[in-house]
Structure 1
Amino acid sequence: MTAATDSAPRLTSLSHGGGCGCKIAPGVLSELLARSSLPKMGFPDLLVGTETADDAAVYRINERQAIVATTDFFMPIVDDPRDFGRIAATNALSDLYAMGAQPLMALAIVGMPINVLPHEVIAKILEGGESVCREAGIPLAGGHSIDSVEPIYGLVGIGIVEIAHLKRNATAQAGDVLVLGKPLGVGILSAALKKGELDAMGYAAMIEATTKLNRPGTELARLPGVHALTDVTGFGLLGHTLELARGAGLAAHLDSGALRWLPGVQALAARGIVTGASGRNWASYGAQVEGAVTEDATLRALLTDPQTSGGLLVACAPEAAAQVLELFAKGGFTDAAVIGRMSAGAPGVRVFSED
């Protein structure tokens, strides 16, 4: 839980935010993209661009296959340099799995305060990212580095997908159930870490969750009953569920009693230990959310909590849910659970509890 050398500053002390909590608020991002996005017109082989805030771009290379490309990087969420590298790399590759793709290779994105951080600390960050690429079975084939004020690390991920198995975040169907692959609460645990209030057990749980590759996405995409896929990251569970709803033109319903949490997260949230990104998220999309979350500040903080390297969110036919859960369990995702459903209705999210 410390930096690589006693003389090195804490990584989290060098950045104004950490992990996927660094993301630009969804409302601001939508406005920026609306002003700057190029239309797909004239690029018929660009199957997925920016139009539905999907997880990666997809470009058809032949009648059967497409290249999937994504990039993700952020400032430190932890102080251990190798753990930071591992988390950032796992998070970046998650976008490929969320499209149903198989990763092919990665490129490193490196921005470091060269005169502030010892070189051995930077080397451990890079080593952490390389270890995740080895685990994913792909080469870290190059990259780009700059001398920056804040430490930044991430990857460009390149993958390939059979077009017939490509899964998007905008293709859920009415009647689908929602399955989430990982427990929630990464942002809250990272906030506790910054305040010196995260114990060793909480830290270990956070690292285990954020460095587990979302590999089941490739297999899940091949199931006929799986209609849509995304991963839950910086906009929190509410934000990414809302993207599913908007993309499909459906209403989403989340059962707060069915959600799985990392150890200690609910107690920390009740004490007000949350990230600033949680409030920014709610300000961006809260008007499209109904239910107890609108009155319960703790529940609101939990559901808007930014998830760094979060779980896959699957929309599937009810009869496919058992097979989805089985694939998750086979991959070691023992906290995967059915957490809600999609229905006809105005796009939005309603939070309820069957407890």
Structure 2
Amino acid sequence: MTKDETRARLADLGVGPGAFSRGRNNAITDVPGVLVGHATVHSDRLHTGVTAIVPTALGADRRWLPAGLAIGNGYGKLVGATQLQELGALETPVLLTSTLSVFRVADALLGHMLEQPGYERTTTLNPVVGETNDGFLSDIRSRPLGDAEVAQALGSAAGGRVDEGSVGAGAGTVALGFKGGIGTSSRVVPVGGDSFTVGALVQSNFSGTLSIAGVPMPANELLSEPPPGPVGNSCMIVVATDAPVDARQLARCARRAVFALRGVGSDFAQGSGDYAIAFSVGSGMPPADAELSPLFHATMDAVEEALVNSLLMATTQTHADGNSARAIPLDAVRRRLAAAGAV
């Protein structure tokens, strides 16, 4: 893994948060009880891994959380999607990984859950595992991920600052002509007279032309060598909140999360698997729909910033066969933002 440049997040570059303030860590972990962990594999032929989003509210005493799903384009292998959409219920942590490892990771997650206290008599459970294709930078057919990596991702899940860029499920992704990866962000937002947090985490691996704060950042202009072709064609988005919204309202949030992809330049290619999962750890009466606009706005802002962070924090990765995805050059980003008056 190349570490030839100190990386920076969007906030570090001086770009403001928009209408709502960022959370303390500007991460999905700002939502109370939401943890994130990674298992990362980097070698000459593998750049892959697992990322776990773990709501601690799930367990023997609370078997499901309200959740919603939005499908921007269904060219994907999202395990657990139909029951998530039908019942509006999230029963497990959300894991993200590589396309051809998704089924082994789902089985490992199921095994982990069945071993938890209170699940001894469980006969049905819906593991939720999303993916994007990291085959440009990793030997994807080897399907190297399973029990050990799932245990590491779940076991390392913690609050506070979240590692971003070329880590976990983002180790081998490519987005908008640059090295993609894991990114996160959060906003503090008023809903129904109270203040809540909405956080987003993304696995970016899609094509298009990057835009940051409305400023075009084409890879063929920022990189000193031609960028790879449109090898990345998917994105997984996970949104969490402590607002007491119900499953129907969360599905509306998830749709807004998908909309945010266009804000950074996604071209929503034919072969793209773009999904957003939104869940709530809150409790109490859901707010009226008329009070949801700030939550929708904050969701889109958090997702858009998470997507940008996934690129800004990523490091250059190269496969032994010669395929390479370059990190976005931060000096060029700073110059263009300054020239456009965005900072």
- Which interval holds the TM-score relative to the shorter structure? under 0.3
TM-score, normalising length: structure 2 = 0.28
TM-score, normalising length: structure 1 = 0.27
